[in-house]
Copies of this chain bind each other. A is one copy, B any other.
Amino acid sequence: MKITVADVEGEVDYDKVIKEFGVQPFGEFAEKMKQGKLFSRALRNFPMFRRGLVFAHRDFGQIYGAITGGKKFCVLTGANPSGPLHFGHRLFLEQALFFQQLGAHVYIPISDDETYVFRKSETLEQATENALKKVIPDILGFPFDEKKTHIFVSTQTKRVYELAVRLSARSTFSTIKAIYGFNNETNPGQIFYGVTQSAHILFPEYAAGVHPIIVPIGIDQDAHIRLARDIAERAGFHKPSSTYHKYIPGLQGGKMSTSKPNTCIFLDDNPEEARRKMMAAFSGGAPSLKEHREKGGNPDVDVAFQYMYFLLENSDKKLEEIRSAYRSGSLATGDLKTMAADKLAKYLKEYQQRRRRNTRRADKFMLKD
């Protein structure tokens, strides 16, 4: 269920987004986290914060307070099993990993109910099976700590419905309607899913006692957070906090779409196939090498550069060298793409090894319901 941002495709004016959605800029906290003596160097340098990729938040103060005060908090990020995970999902999951390394337990609801009631799968079985056979293995490619990880499939977890029923009496149809814009053709499952998603978000408090929850989420999903915060308050839970990150572009420069494989790197793409996709990605270089050497390229729209910036190059120093070399024209488009493609293939290879290894013991990472 997408809530439309004026223009999530192409160039997004994030200042305008902050104003329109009434969220807070993240800069202040990014700055604090960078300097915090409490954090190890690696954590202080979490690229998504350092580079401003996380650009906004709601109520992050309570999370920062829990981190610096050594208090219990947790992180929650869900997945909709309508297709395999793609490279953009790393933005949620890398944040979840980051907070886990700071001590948080990670909760990952897989919303097979959402997939089905919004008709992104033919049957519920397909959605449930996709959750179990594809999405959970995809998540297990990330180096989560099994002792602090609780993955659960919505329809397979008794307490989800129990909590959703509990929360449903704290909301009204008109609230849900205002957020989702339902009409008479809407099915009752779609209406109820509004509170089910709040149940996913508040599940950690329900299962493990009162503690603050941070939810890394796309700004287009902000309505869900607002609903969950509203319901939380009425139902005696903490209002959950959220962070919002910038959009990583699709391989053709527009939006990623899982139904158009040439716009996405899937996390289970064969590394060589992914390399080929990257070599064919939208480029910010000039039409000819000669012209590129003369006028230089535009790293701001170059997909290979953007993927390095978002997720593939941890060193700011190297990134700046690459940026200026590309802008000046001394770094050719083909060479930039090769760098990104190599890093991508290496990442996927390691990721997929971990995916295989952890999938064999997937039950260790599952919620005990």
A residues bordering B, Cβ < 8 Å? 113, 116-117, 119, 123-124, 155-158, 160-162, 164-166, 168-174, 176-177, 182-192, 194-195
Contacts and interface: CB of A to CB of B under 8 A. Distances in A.
Contact of A124 (B165, B176, B185, B191): B165
Given A124-B165, A158-B157, A162-B155, A176 B188 contact: yes
Given A162-B124, A192-B192, A168 B156 contact: no
A63 to B, nearest CB: 28
A165 B113 contact: yes
B117 A165 contact: yes
Q: Which 5 A-B pairs have the closest CB atoms?
A: A168-B189, A192-B192, A161-B161, A174-B184, A155-B162
B182 A188 contact: no
Contacts of A189: 164-165, 168-169, 192, 195
Contacts of A171: 187-188
Given A155-B161, A161-B161, A188-B191, A173 B182 contact: yes
Most buried by B among A164, A182, A194: A164
Majority secondary structure of chain A interface residues (helix, strand, loop or mixed)? helix
Contact of A195 (B173, B174, B188): B188
A188 B165 CA distance: 9
How many monomers of this protein are in the complex? 2
A116 B188 CA distance: 18
B155 A165 contact: yes
A246 B307 CA distance: 71
B158 A173 contact: no
A168 B155 contact: no
21 contacts: A117-B169, A119-B169, A155-B158, A155-B161, A155-B165, A158-B158, A161-B164, A168-B192, A170-B187, A171-B187, A171-B188, A172-B184, A172-B188, A173-B182, A173-B191, A174-B185, A176-B188, A177-B184, A188-B194, A189-B195, A191-B191
Contact of A185 (B116, B117, B155, B172): B172
Nearest to A123: B166
Given A172-B187, A184-B174, A187-B173, A124 B166 contact: yes
Contacts of A162: 124, 155-156
A116 B166 contact: yes
A245 B272 CA distance: 70
Contacts of A116: 165-166, 169
Residue in A157, A168, A171 whose Cβ sees the most chain B Cβ within 10 Å: A168
A354 B177 CA distance: 49
Contacts of A123: 166
Contacts of A165: 113, 116-117, 124, 155, 189
B184 A168 contact: no
Q: Which of A119, A171, A177, A190 has the most CB of B within 10 A?
A: A190
Given A116-B165, A158-B161, 18 more contacts: A113-B165, A119-B169, A124-B166, A155-B158, A155-B165, A156-B158, A157-B158, A160-B161, A164-B189, A168-B190, A173-B183, A173-B184, A173-B186, A174-B184, A188-B191, A188-B195, A189-B192, A191-B192
Nearest to A177: B184
A169 B177 CA distance: 17
A188 B173 contact: yes
| Best-buried of A164, A165, A186 by chain B (most CB within 10 Å) | A165
A143 to B, nearest CB: 30
A161 B163 CA distance: 12
